[in-house]
């Protein structure tokens, strides 16, 4: 907070608060057809957002996030300003999820966020993604943010050298980002000490195409903030950057009486692709807006973008003047412009295009629109009595989905385990190393899992069995339990067959084999009769059983 000035009347001097001097610029780059970057810089807030999701919604994601945060640009906070900053970023994340819910074509869109909030003599830092924050203090230029990228994780794990990161094929893969991927993404948060003279550089990853030593030299040697951001962007374009590039320079200074008297004059809101307007340009007032009706996206693009229509056509945005009764009242561009005109700031990139054209990315619906409007005018009051109209967050729905998936996984796991346990109560006879063996389980596989194990190997060789029994054993003979399996093995050992039904009756001990009755030699002789035999009947053929007993 600042050094107080001495007063002549001996009264307690008023405290001089710290504020930010700032400059910002965003450029579409050499190759891209639209700018997915957005940035805002003011007396107490600086934020850079780099949108992704291609033509479908990268610009929508970054613009929605930045415009949802601009109400934080104020010095007075009742609670912990760092917590409020983190909560607002999470709220912006919910907004992106709802935009995707309304328009599934935007699925996959997201944005990085790197933000500084100066409040109560402290600098609150929040970061997610691969946009960067650098601090210059007492001649030391240091990167404060950590990239949430795949290659940075490899570097942290010692699997990749920093100089190899720029040529890595997956250098643009992000591990953390705002969007419809996570209902509550993890942010890097910190509260830093601050002193007058500190300079901060916030930038999108487009600036990475400029060598680090060149960036550091420019920030150290260029005293004028406007000249510094212009130089950094021009260096990026000269390097042939294929990506958008956005640069915000901030310097911490003590507030002066001139800063207070010009608070509503220093307003800069350039259109994407053009250089910022001079700092002394007067803001557009609500009265001026009333005289100049909003012309919509295409007309605004023709007025400020060289006659080229913007590429927001088809995006999930609420156009001004919409009268859809199902959506209710909408956040209009006039509300946003009135809020922006109330304090010094710079708004660049896709967020500036949204403010100029009136295509404000927000959620339709009476309560949500009213909430967005009060947020943008930082006159927020707790909403009461509207619980039935409050927007239902996505997080519970996602938890329900995950809970159902987890329950199904548990049921499937228990079912597989019970099935496997049942198979281990079964046995079968099969071949192992050219011998008859007993196996525990069933003779099937479940993918790479074999559902049986070797229980015992007998001394019965396969070539000692009849061909039919060999075939049966090779095809496996099921058994009800281990005792049944041992019985089948015993049958194979004694008879060469697998079941008692196939055995041949063995002769009784001491009994002689019966011989066939001799045929009568005299045709006239009567046939011998047995008094105990029943009356003769016509003979019927009986089946012949052939037994093959292994030798």
Sign (positive or negative) of CA dihedral 111, 55, 300, 235: positive
pLDDT at 190: 95
CATH of the domain at 72: 3.60.40.10
Same domain, 216 and 302: yes
Sign of torsion, CA 372 347 127 107? positive
Q: Which domain holds residue 65?
A: 18-392
Of 249, 214, 244, 217, give the one whose Cα is nearest residue 230: 249
Return phi, psi of residue 448, to 5°.
-85, 0
Residues 161 and 94 in one domain: yes
Q: Are residues 325 and 442 in the same domain?
A: no
350 or 340, greater pLDDT: 350
Contacts of the segment 134-143: beta carbons below 8 A, 24+ positions apart? 134/200, 134/201, 134/203, 134/215, 134/219, 135/198, 135/199, 135/200, 135/201, 136/198, 136/199, 136/200, 136/201, 136/219, 136/220, 137/195, 137/197, 137/198, 137/199, 139/220, 141/216, 141/219, 141/220
- Spatial contact of 375 and 68, defined as CB atoms under 8 Å apart: yes
Q: Residue 54 has what DSSP assignment?
A: G
**Judgement on whether residues 255 and 163 belong to the same structural domain of the protein:** yes
CA count, 13 A, side-chain hemisphere, 369:
18
Burial of 325 (0-12, 13-18, 19+ CB in 10 A): exposed
Predicted local distance difference test score (pLDDT) of residue 274: 39
Per-residue pLDDT band for 540 (boundaries 50, 70, 90) equals very low
Pair 442, 372 in one domain: no
Q: How far apart are the first and last CA of the chain?
A: 107
For residues 55 and 314, is the Cβ–Cβ distance under 8 A? no
**Using CB atoms within 10 A of its CB, is residue 177 exposed (0-12), middle (13-18) or buried (19+)?**
buried
**Mean local confidence (pLDDT), 44-73:** 88
In a domain, 299, yes or no: yes
For 76, 150, 429, the CA distances from 457, given in Å and listed in that order, are: 85, 54, 10
Sequence-ordered list of residues with C-beta below 8 angstroms from that of 350, at least 6 positions apart, any chain: 34, 35, 36, 37, 38, 51, 58, 59, 60, 62, 63, 272
Domain total of the chain: 2
3-state secondary structure 154-182: HHHCCCCCHHHHHHCCCCCCECCCEECCC
Same domain as 342, residue 209: yes
Give the pLDDT confidence score for residue 269 in this predicted structure. 45
* Whether pLDDT at 503 is above 50: no
Domain check: are 177 and 127 in the same one? yes
Q: Does residue 266 form part of some domain? A: yes
- Judge if 317 and 228 occupy the same domain: yes
Q: Do residues 26 and 246 lie in contact, with contact meaning Cβ atoms separated by under 8 Å? A: yes
Which of 137 and 417 is assigned the larger pLDDT? Answer: 137
Query: Residue 192: is its pLDDT beyond 80?
Result: yes
The answer to whether residues 439 and 302 belong to one domain is no
Question: Which of 445, 430, 442, 454 shows the shortest CA–CA distance to 480?
Answer: 442
Number of H helices, E strands in the chain: 14, 18
Q: Would strands 18-27 and 245-254 be described as parallel, antiparallel, or unpaired?
A: antiparallel
Give exposure, 140-171, as e/b (b: 16+ Cβ within 10 Å).
ebeebbebbbbbbebbeeeebeeeebeeeeeb
CA 182/CA 194 separation, integer angstroms? 32
In terms of domains, do 28 and 89 share one? yes
The pLDDT of residue 507 is above 80:
no
347 plus 214 within the same structural domain: yes
Task: Pick 210 or 308 by higher pLDDT.
Answer: 210
- Is 479 within the bounds of a domain? yes
**The pair of three-digit structure tokens given for residue 249, joined into one six-digit string:** 């320079």
The residue from 346, 369, 392 where one domain ends is 392
Could you tell me if residue 415 is inside a domain? Answer: no
- Indicate the residue among 458, 484, 502 that finishes a domain: 502
Distance CA(19)–CA(118), nearest Å, equals 7
Tell me the chain's radius of gyration from C-alpha atoms: 42
Q: Is the pLDDT of residue 436 over 50?
A: yes
Mean pLDDT of the chain: 73
Q: Residue 458: enclosing H or E segment and its boundaries?
A: strand 449-461
Alpha-carbon gap, residue 25 to 252, rounded angstroms = 19
Alpha carbon distance 47, 178 (integer Å): 14
Q: What is the pLDDT of residues 266-286, one digit of tens each?
A: 444 444 443 333 333 333 333
pLDDT band at 543 (very low <50, low <70, confident <90, very high): very low
Does 230 reside within a domain? yes
- Phi and psi of 403, rounded to 5°? -65, -45
Q: Pick from 460, 475, 502: which residue ends a domain?
A: 502
Side-chain-side CA neighbours of 268 within 13 Å: the count stands at 24
In a domain, 106, yes or no: yes
* pLDDT, position 303: 31
- Domain contains 304: yes
The confidence score (pLDDT) of residue 182 equals: 80
**306 in helix, strand or coil?**
coil
Residues 375 and 485 in one domain: no
Confidence of residue 367 (pLDDT cuts 50, 70, 90): very low
Q: From 457, 413, 456, 412, select the one nearest 434 (Cα to Cα).
A: 457
> Cα dist. 424→39, 433, 473, 481 in Å?
65, 22, 20, 10
Among 71-85, 126-140, 260-274, 409-423, name the most confident range. Answer: 126-140
pLDDT of residue 398: 65
Quote the pLDDT of residue 533: 41
How many C-beta atoms lie closer than 10 Å to residue 379's C-beta? 10
pTM (2 decimals)?
Answer: 0.56
* Residue 409 belongs to a domain: no
């Amino acid at each position: 907070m600042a050094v107080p000035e001495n007063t002549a009347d001996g009264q307690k001097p008023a405290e001089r608060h710290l504020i930010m001097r700032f400059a910002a610029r965003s450029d579409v780059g050499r190759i891209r057809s639209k700018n997915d970057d957005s940035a805002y810089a003011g007396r107490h807030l600086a934020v850079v957002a780099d949108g992704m999701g291609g033509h479908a919604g990268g610009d929508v994601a970054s613009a929605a996030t930045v415009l949802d945060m601009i109400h934080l640009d104020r010095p007075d906070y009742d609670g912990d300003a760092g917590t409020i900053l983190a909560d607002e970023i999470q709220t912006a994340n919910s907004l992106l999820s709802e935009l995707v819910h309304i328009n599934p074509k935007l699925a996959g869109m997201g944005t990085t966020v790197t933000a500084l909030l100066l409040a109560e003599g402290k600098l609150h830092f929040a970061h997610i993604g691969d946009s960067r924050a650098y601090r210059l203090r007492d001649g030391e230029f240091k990167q404060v943010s950590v990239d949430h990228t795949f290659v940075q994780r490899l570097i942290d794990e010692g699997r990749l050298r920093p100089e190899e990161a720029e040529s890595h094929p997956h250098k643009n893969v992000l591990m953390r980002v705002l969007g419809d991927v996570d209902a509550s993404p993890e942010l890097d948060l910190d509260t830093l000490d601050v002193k007058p003279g500190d300079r901060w550089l916030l930038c999108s990853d487009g600036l990475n195409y400029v060598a680090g030593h060149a960036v550091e030299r420019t920030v150290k040697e260029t005293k004028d903030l406007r000249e510094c951001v212009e130089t950094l962007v021009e260096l990026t374009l000269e390097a042939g950057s294929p990506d958008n590039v956005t640069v915000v320079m901030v310097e911490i200074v003590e507030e002066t009486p001139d800063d207070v008297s010009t608070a509503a004059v220093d307003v800069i809101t350039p259109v994407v692709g053009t250089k910022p307007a001079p700092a002394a340009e007067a803001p557009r007032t609500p009265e001026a807006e009333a005289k100049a009706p909003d012309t919509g996206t295409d007309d605004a693009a023709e007025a400020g973008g060289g006659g080229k229509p913007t590429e927001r056509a088809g995006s999930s945005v609420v156009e001004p003047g919409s009268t859809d009764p199902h959506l209710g009242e909408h956040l209009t561009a006039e509300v946003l412009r009135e809020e922006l005109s109330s304090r010094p700031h710079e708004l660049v990139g896709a967020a500036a295009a949204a403010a100029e054209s009136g295509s404000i990315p927000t959620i339709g619906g009476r309560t949500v629109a009213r909430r967005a409007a009060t947020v943008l005018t930082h006159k927020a009051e707790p909403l009461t009595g509207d619980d039935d109209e409050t927007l239902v967050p996505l997080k519970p729905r996602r938890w329900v989905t995950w809970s159902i998936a987890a329950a199904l996984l548990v049921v499937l796991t228990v079912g597989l385990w019970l099935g496997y346990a049942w198979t281990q109560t079964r046995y079968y006879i099969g071949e192992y190393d050219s011998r008859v063996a007993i196996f525990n389980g069933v003779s099937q596989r479940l993918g790479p899992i074999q559902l049986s194990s070797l229980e015992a190997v007998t001394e019965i060789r396969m070539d000692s069995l009849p061909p039919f029994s060999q075939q049966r054993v090779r095809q496996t003979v099921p058994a009800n339990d281990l005792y049944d399996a041992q019985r089948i093995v015993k049958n194979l050992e004694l008879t060469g067959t697998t079941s008692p039904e196939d055995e041949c009756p063995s002769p009784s001990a001491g009994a002689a084999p019966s011989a066939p009755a001799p045929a009568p030699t005299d045709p006239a002789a009567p046939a011998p009769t047995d008094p105990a035999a029943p009356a003769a009947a016509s003979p019927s053929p009986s089946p012949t059983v052939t037994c093959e007993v292994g030798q």
